[in-house]
């Protein structure tokens, strides 16, 4: 992770209050034996909530099944990988 984390914060439009949390979020589980599975669990829950809320507001006439399918498409790995590439997250990952 040779690139400045403040640059990533500017790209995201968000400043982390806890830099260690940001570093942990960018750390692969195989790196230096650190385990971030609890953080991953929380992040997945937040991502699902935010996507669900946005879809609920954007599509007021949609049924639950439709919203669930749309959310699944938004939070799947392929979609998130595209977003990650857009932010050049690979430059910041600790592998």
**pLDDT tens, residue order, the chain (95 aa):** 446 889 999 999 999 999 988 988 888 878 877 678 888 899 999 999 999 999 999 999 999 999 999 999 999 999 999 999 999 999 998 88
Point out which residues pair with 94 in neighbouring strands: 27
CATH code, 66: 1.10.1520.10
DSSP annotation of 89 reads G
Q: Round to whole Å and give the CA distance between 70 and 73.
A: 5
CA angle 17, 82, 61 (to 5 degrees): 90
Instruction: Note the pTM of the prediction, 2 decimals.
Output: 0.79
Strand, helix or coil at 1? coil
| pLDDT at 3 (0 to 100) | 64
| Total number of domains constituting the chain | 1
Q: Which domain holds residue 45?
A: 5-91
Q: Round to whole Å and give the CA distance between 32 and 16.
A: 23
């Amino acid at each position: 992770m040779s690139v400045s984390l403040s640059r990533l914060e500017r790209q995201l439009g968000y400043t982390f209050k806890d830099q260690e949390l940001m570093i942990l979020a960018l750390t692969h589980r195989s790196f230096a034996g650190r385990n971030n599975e609890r953080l991953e669990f929380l992040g997945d829950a937040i991502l699902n909530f935010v996507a669900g809320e946005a879809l609920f507001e954007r599509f007021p006439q949609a049924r639950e099944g439709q919203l669930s399918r749309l959310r699944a498409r938004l939070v799947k790995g392929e979609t998130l990988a595209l977003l990650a590439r857009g932010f050049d997250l690979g430059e910041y990952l600790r592998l």
